[in-house]
Amino acid sequence: MPSWAPVIRAKVVGKKLVKEGPFGTLVYTIKQMKMYRGFSKMPHVQYIHT
């Protein structure tokens, strides 16, 4: 993991299946529970990839 990456603990509060092409994609809605690293970067974060 890059040293600049934010590290958070989050809870999944919703999910939606988005169909694009032959495979579907799940989009999760999360609620941030705790932040361990990346406080200065968090205002600029829009998407989280897992």
pLDDT given at position 8: 81
pLDDT given at position 2: 59
pLDDT given at position 10: 87
Give the separation between CA 27 and CA 46, rounded to whole angstroms. 13
pLDDT given at position 13: 94
Domain boundaries, the chain: 7-37
SS3 43: helix
pLDDT given at position 36: 76
Split the chain (50 residues) into runs of 10 and give each run's mean pLDDT.
Answer: 73 88 84 77 68
Give the separation between CA 5 and CA 3, rounded to whole angstroms. 6
Classify residue 46 as left (phi > 0), alpha (psi -120 to 50) or beta.
alpha
pLDDT given at position 14: 94
Give the separation between CA 34 and CA 31, rounded to whole angstroms. 9
